[in-house]
């Protein structure tokens, strides 16, 4: 039986979670907390398998509460659950030692399987966040036996307004391709490529493709050979 502590400042929200969890015969809600300080205190006392932690709370937010719970050496694992998919939250939450990070728009089944995964010692991150986390932390991944890789786009402020397609075009610009080469290899008209390039320059503030290349390197969109 997986024991869960629900932490959220909204009673209605807690109620919904409780109903969902109690409907599962392998889970039980052992307590509820409405603030960070209460969460820390109850976790220490109840020692639940999983703490379902909201972020935005009065008194002490979920990140800080997570940090204290983890730092206390508690065996309880923290699964952060929030309305917001802001990167900083995920970043901070995981740094604080959370075992997972899900967004509240997740399907009920996803939440349940997430809780089970966390309870069994695994970890989960909402797919929407996983992508950005990987991008942000690809640099810091330990090198495997396969050596260096060309890495992947980084979520960088100057690139944030680019569409997926534009980021892709910028990548190949960074690899030194001419417009006509880009057109040929991506099966596009050169005029289309020019349109994309123009928009990339406008959005990033780069003056020409040379500065776009520099930007691509600086943001680690492309990497030195």
Q: For residues 117-156, which are near DNA according to CB under 7 A?
A: none
Residues 193 and 199 sit within 8 Å (Cβ to Cβ): no
Beta partners for 78?
51
Residues 151-190 that bind DNA (CB under 7 A): 163-166, 178-180, 186, 188-190
Q: How far apart are CA 218 and CA 80, in angstroms?
A: 32
Question: For the window 144-163, what string marks contact with a second copy as x by the rule CB under 8 A?
Answer: xxx-xxxxx-----------
Tokens of 89: 């939250």
Among 34, 42, 67, 162, binds a second copy (CB under 8 A): 67
**Is 185 one of the binding residues for a second copy (CB under 8 A)?**
yes
Part of the chain binding a second copy (CB under 8 A), chosen from 8-16, 22-30, 34-42, 175-183 = 175-183
Q: Would you say 116 or 194 has its CB closer to DNA?
A: 194
Q: How far apart are CA 53 and CA 184, in angstroms?
A: 50
Q: How far apart are CA 99 and CA 196, in angstroms?
A: 40
Query: DSSP H helical segments within 60-147, as ranges?
Result: 62-71, 87-95, 108-119, 127-137
71 binds, among DNA, a second copy, none (CB under 5 to 8 A by kind): a second copy
Among 10, 160, 161, 178, binds a second copy (CB under 8 A): 178
Among 20, 28, 37, 87, binds a second copy (CB under 8 A): 87
Taking alpha carbons only, the member of 158, 102, 105, 157 closest to residue 130 is: 102
The distance of closest approach from Cβ of residue 16 to a second copy in the complex, given in angstroms and rounded to an integer, is: 23
- Reduced to 3 states, what is the DSSP secondary structure of residue 30? strand
List contacts with DNA (CB under 7 A): 163-166, 178-180, 186, 188-192, 194-198, 201-202, 208-210, 212
């Amino acid at each position: 039986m997986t024991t869960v502590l629900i932490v959220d400042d909204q009673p209605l929200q807690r109620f919904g979670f409780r109903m969902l969890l109690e409907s599962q015969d392998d889970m039980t809600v052992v307590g509820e907390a409405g603030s960070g300080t209460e969460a820390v205190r109850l976790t220490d006392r109840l020692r639940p398998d999983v703490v379902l932690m909201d972020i935005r709370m009065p008194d002490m937010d979920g990140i800080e509460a997570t940090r204290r719970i983890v730092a206390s050496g508690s065996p309880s694992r923290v699964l952060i659950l929030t309305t917001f998919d802001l990167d900083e939250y995920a970043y901070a939450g995981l740094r604080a030692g959370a075992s997972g990070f899900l967004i509240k728009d997740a399907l009920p089944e996803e939440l349940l399987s997430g809780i089970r995964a966390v309870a069994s010692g695994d970890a989960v991150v909402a797919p929407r966040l996983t992508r950005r986390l990987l991008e942000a932390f690809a640099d810091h991944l330990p090198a495997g036996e396969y050596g260096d890789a060309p890495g992947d786009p980084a979520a960088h402020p100057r690139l944030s307004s680019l569409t997926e397609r534009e980021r892709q075009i910028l990548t190949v610009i960074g690899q030194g391709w001419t417009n006509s080469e880009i057109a040929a290899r991506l099966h596009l008209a050169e005029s289309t490529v020019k349109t994309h390039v123009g928009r990339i320059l406008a959005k990033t503030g780069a003056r020409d493709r040379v500065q776009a290349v520099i930007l691509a390197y600086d943001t680690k969109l492309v990497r030195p050979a």
